[in-house]
């Protein structure tokens, strides 16, 4: 099934381990190239994951994004509601570019980023979820719609990033929910702190607890640790949720999962991958530099 939660910040990815390359040349415009790259990766990853994992991720996208709907600014006018309905139809149509082109049209009309995210994209996610629950659309259609929403969000990444303040040497380090091998992330936290980093260590949280704490945190850098193949669905769901609730954040994945499931983790497109401490330290420093550049 052609489906992926591929969340890219650039169309260029230099290597399997390391920091992804950021392309900031368009000065904040919606980047169709990244959108297209996301959809291309969707086809690759979708062939490698079981259907139950894909449905789990689809639910996560719809639920998390629909939750972002700002009830105070929900559209009451007929025109706005018609636009959201049109966006839904475009997102699940046979034309993969229809939804992104409609978003570009909305931007040209003067729709700001908050309204685009909190009214249109979140409203479309809510409506698609209702249609799915009522069997108005198939899983294939909803998977197309949600993956395209994600592609749009990644294409808008420069706009999210432009609101950042200069980042500090702070980060969240978290083990994947249900993970029992947590010694490595504890040691890494201690070593980073000795090197002057302010580290929030999150261990033993449920998925919802961890996402809520990340939502409330001011840290822009997030290090996720997982031990092996058993954590793939959990890690994918976690990355998806973070990208929805904190689209400005940069994510590093570390732990044995990078070694044993390198290709699949890479296809989730975190912003950096690292196996050992020295590599993680170098990559986090690079991400801090990237975040500083995006905020400037």
User: Domains of the chain: which residue ranges?
Assistant: 18-161, 170-295
Tell me which residue has tokens 């290709």.
263
Average pLDDT in the chain: 83
Q: Exposed, middle or buried by CB within 10 Å (0-12, 13-18, 19+), for 101?
A: middle
* Higher-scoring residue by pLDDT: 273, 24: 273
Least confident of 9-13, 89-93, 291-295: 9-13
Query: What's the mean pLDDT in 9-17?
Result: 35
Burial of 95 (0-12, 13-18, 19+ CB in 10 A): exposed
At the second CATH level, the architecture of 170-295 is 3-Layer(aba) Sandwich (3.40)
Which sign, positive or negative, has the C-alpha torsion 130, 131, 134, 135?
negative
pTM: 0.84
Position 284 pLDDT exceeds 60: yes
pLDDT digits (tens, 9 = 90+) for 114-134: 888 888 999 999 999 999 999
Nearest by Cα to 66 from 154, 157, 142: 142
Instruction: Using pLDDT thresholds of 50, 70 and 90, give the confidence band for residue 163.
Output: low
**Pair of tokens at residue 282:** 């170098």
Average pLDDT over residues 240-247: 91
Q: Which of 66-80, 122-136, 148-162 has the lowest mean pLDDT?
A: 66-80
Cβ partners under 8 Å of residue 256, min gap 6: 181, 226, 227, 228, 275
pLDDT on residue 144: 92
161 pLDDT tier (thresholds 50, 70, 90): low
What integer pLDDT is reported at residue 15 of this predicted model? Answer: 35
Pick the more confident residue, 289 or 76. Answer: 289
């Amino acid at each position: 099934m052609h489906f992926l939660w591929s969340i890219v910040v650039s169309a260029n990815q230099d290597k399997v381990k390391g920091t992804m390359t950021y392309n900031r040349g368009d000065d904040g415009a919606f980047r169709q190239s990244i959108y297209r790259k996301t959809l291309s990766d969707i086809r690759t990853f979708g062939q490698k994951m079981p259907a139950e994992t894909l449905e789990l991720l689809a639910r996560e996208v719809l639920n998390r994004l629909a939750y972002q709907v700002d009830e105070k600014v929900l559209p009451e006018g007929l025109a706005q509601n018609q636009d959201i309905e049109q966006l839904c139809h475009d997102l699940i149509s046979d034309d993969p570019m229809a939804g992104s082109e409609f978003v570009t049209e909305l931007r040209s009309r003067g729709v700001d980023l908050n309204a685009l995210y909190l009214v249109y994209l979140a409203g479309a996610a809510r409506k698609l979820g209702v249609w799915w629950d009522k069997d108005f659309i198939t899983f294939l259609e909803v998977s197309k719609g949600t993956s395209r929403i994600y592609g749009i969000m990644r294409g808008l990444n420069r706009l999210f990033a432009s609101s950042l303040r200069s980042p500090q040497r702070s980060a969240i380090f978290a083990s994947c929910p249900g993970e029992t091998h947590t010694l490595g992330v504890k040691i890494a936290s201690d070593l980073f702190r000795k090197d002057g980093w302010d580290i929030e260590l999150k261990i033993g949280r449920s998925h919802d607890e961890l996402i809520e704490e990340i939502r409330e945190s001011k840290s822009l850098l997030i290090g996720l640790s997982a031990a092996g193949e058993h954590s793939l669905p959990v890690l994918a769901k976690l990355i998806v949720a973070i990208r929805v609730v904190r689209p400005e954040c940069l994510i590093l994945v570390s732990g044995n999962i990078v070694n044993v499931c390198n290709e699949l983790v890479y296809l989730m497109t975190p912003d950096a991958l690292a196996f050992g401490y020295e590599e993680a330290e170098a990559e986090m420093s690079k991400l801090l530099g990237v975040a500083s550049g995006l905020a400037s």
